[in-house]
Amino acid sequence: MAVKQIGNKWTKTHLLKSVLWFLLHFIIFLFIAATLLLWDRMSQIGEYMNERGADYLYAIFCVLLLVVIMYVYFFVEDKTMLMNGKNISLLFTVLDVYLVLACLLGYKVSIYARPVALVAMLMFVLVGRREAIFLNIISALLIFVIDTFAMSEAEVSTKECYSSLIIAFSAGMFAIFFAGKARTRFSVILIGIGIVIPMDIIIFLLGLSKLVESGVAMETVTESPMLSIVTEMGFGLFGGVLSAFIFLFILPIFEGIFNRLTVFRLRELTSSDARILKKLKAEAPGTYNHSMMVAQLAEASAAAIGENVDYARAAAMYHDVGKLHYPEHFTENQGDYNLHDELTPELSADIIRSHANDGYVLIRSHRLPEFLADVAVQHHGTMPIRYFYAKALKMTDGELNIEDFSYMGPKPQTKLAAIIMICDAAEAAVRAVNARKPEEAEKAIRAIIEERMDLEQFSECDVTMADLTKIRHALVNALTGVYHHRIKYPNIKYRRTENGTRGESE
């Protein structure tokens, strides 16, 4: 799912702009619908309008009503969606794409051949679960309005209109229930096939009811009406699978145009084939391994406090990419020779602390998501670089400004940045000390968190004491799991006897 934008305050300008955006998209939606429905009648449009004027007004008013409900829903539930024109365009473009496909396939092929789960799947991945459920209802109702309007021309029966409504709604809901588990393209296609089951049952029962209605007794059902039911069920299967394929095709386009981050995009970003990570692996293998470890800890911490695990993983993988500028100046990439032996403590501290900002610049220059850059620049906050400060103290009798030996910040601004700050330090501490026993790990992590609290590193983010406690527990569990002691198995000697194999302790 996509990250919620942390918006500014809602103002009258936002209200005016969002209403205008909605109006514009409402007109575009009507224009597309009218073009699709009236394309064949363009020559006698005046006559047609006179004939069906009331129907037009009815359909336009229904669409307007649904658009107003959409606006009020987001106004009450999530104003951040209305604060950005791109978000509004995203909602309507998803609906417009579905409208085009639903009309073309529904009226030219079969009403059951529509990609019924498309809106739900796109909204779930691009925006969120709640918005997906809501838009699924709206899209099903919008197409129902269009169906009832188009009924006479498109040879669609009333029953088909209603069954199409229930199919669109239920297929979308099933897609949303399962979409949370979708991590690969194959699983998306499986969802497409899975949602077909309830659809096909409805199509089958409706087909039977049509047969009975037309006076054909069940026992005299010939092959051809049954064949038409099977064909329609086949269209249902086609619609389900088509939802998955169009979703996979269209998703990267939507991600790009509307600048949305999805689990699929995050997966690409955190795979070892991602450009910066590949470079990190080759040029700073120690940092790469450290980042992988931090990612494991960050995932556990994020899960413990209800933050997005995929974002935590990605942020951890990229938090130290700024070390690519001088990889050999960081302990994890050094061999026996320490380059800092030749440098003044001031210069060493300068090189070390620059990796936070270098990471920010590198991530932004690769046009990667902003939150990765933010975490990179914030993950050390304004913490002092203790080693070089102590080294400098030994070399001087005068006063030293600790700020010259501290990271330049900013401090973590989000819970995610706070998680990475703690996990980064926890991973380094565990490597340095023998914190493999739960009580040792607990002591080390408690010290890390307390030190950062004393230095007010969490003063600019909304991480709570309860969160910090949960993170500590999660880290102890994760660390003692990762660096666990081997269980001592009793030594047992096995020997074969006449009654089978027997074990005896030595």
Check: CB of residue 447 under 8 Å from CB of residue 400. no
Residue 211's alpha-carbon distances to 112, 197, 235, 362, in angstroms, are 18, 21, 19, 66
Structure tokens at 312: 């935590």
Among 200, 320, 374, 467, binds Fe ion (CB under 5 A): 320
> In whole angstroms, how close is the CB of 359 to Fe ion at the nearest point?
8
Among 25, 424, 448, 452, binds Fe ion (CB under 5 A): 424
Residue 207's alpha-carbon distances to 38, 66, 142, 216, in angstroms, are 29, 30, 24, 12
> In whole angstroms, how close is the CB of 177 to Fe ion at the nearest point?
38
Binding mask 261-300 for Fe ion (x = CB under 5 A): ----------------------------------------
- Whichever of 137 and 284 has its CB closer to Fe ion, that residue is 284
- The neighbouring-strand residues paired with 502 are 495
Q: Which amino acid is at 459?
A: S
Report the Cα 179 to chain-centroid distance in Å: 11
Region binding Fe ion by CB under 5 A among candidate stretches 30-38, 324-332, 421-429, 498-506: 421-429
* 200 contributes a contact to Fe ion by CB under 5 A: no
Report how far residue 84's alpha carbon sits from residue 295's, in angstroms, rounded to the nearest whole number. Answer: 32
- Whichever of 290 and 415 has its CB closer to Fe ion, that residue is 290
- Whichever of 96 and 332 has its CB closer to Fe ion, that residue is 332
Residue 59's alpha-carbon distances to 169, 175, 285, 436, in angstroms, are 20, 28, 62, 68
* 307 contributes a contact to Fe ion by CB under 5 A: no
- Whichever of 210 and 325 has its CB closer to Fe ion, that residue is 325
- Whichever of 1 and 297 has its CB closer to Fe ion, that residue is 297
Q: Which residue has the tokens 């739900």?
A: 120
> In whole angstroms, how close is the CB of 436 to Fe ion at the nearest point?
20
Region binding Fe ion by CB under 5 A among candidate stretches 4-12, 271-279, 318-326, 344-352: 318-326
* 310 contributes a contact to Fe ion by CB under 5 A: no
- The neighbouring-strand residues paired with 500 are 497
> In whole angstroms, how close is the CB of 298 to Fe ion at the nearest point?
11
- Whichever of 131 and 358 has its CB closer to Fe ion, that residue is 358
- Whichever of 232 and 424 has its CB closer to Fe ion, that residue is 424
Structure tokens at 34: 């009218």
Report how far residue 275's alpha carbon sits from residue 397's, in angstroms, rounded to the nearest whole number. Answer: 47
- How many residues touch Fe ion under the rule CB under 5 A: the total is 2
Check: CB of residue 282 under 8 Å from CB of residue 304. no
Residue 187's alpha-carbon distances to 131, 203, 248, in angstroms, are 22, 25, 11
Structure tokens at 57: 């007004």
> In whole angstroms, how close is the CB of 409 to Fe ion at the nearest point?
13
Region binding Fe ion by CB under 5 A among candidate stretches 8-16, 141-149, 340-348, 418-426: 418-426
Binding site for Fe ion (CB under 5 A): 320, 424
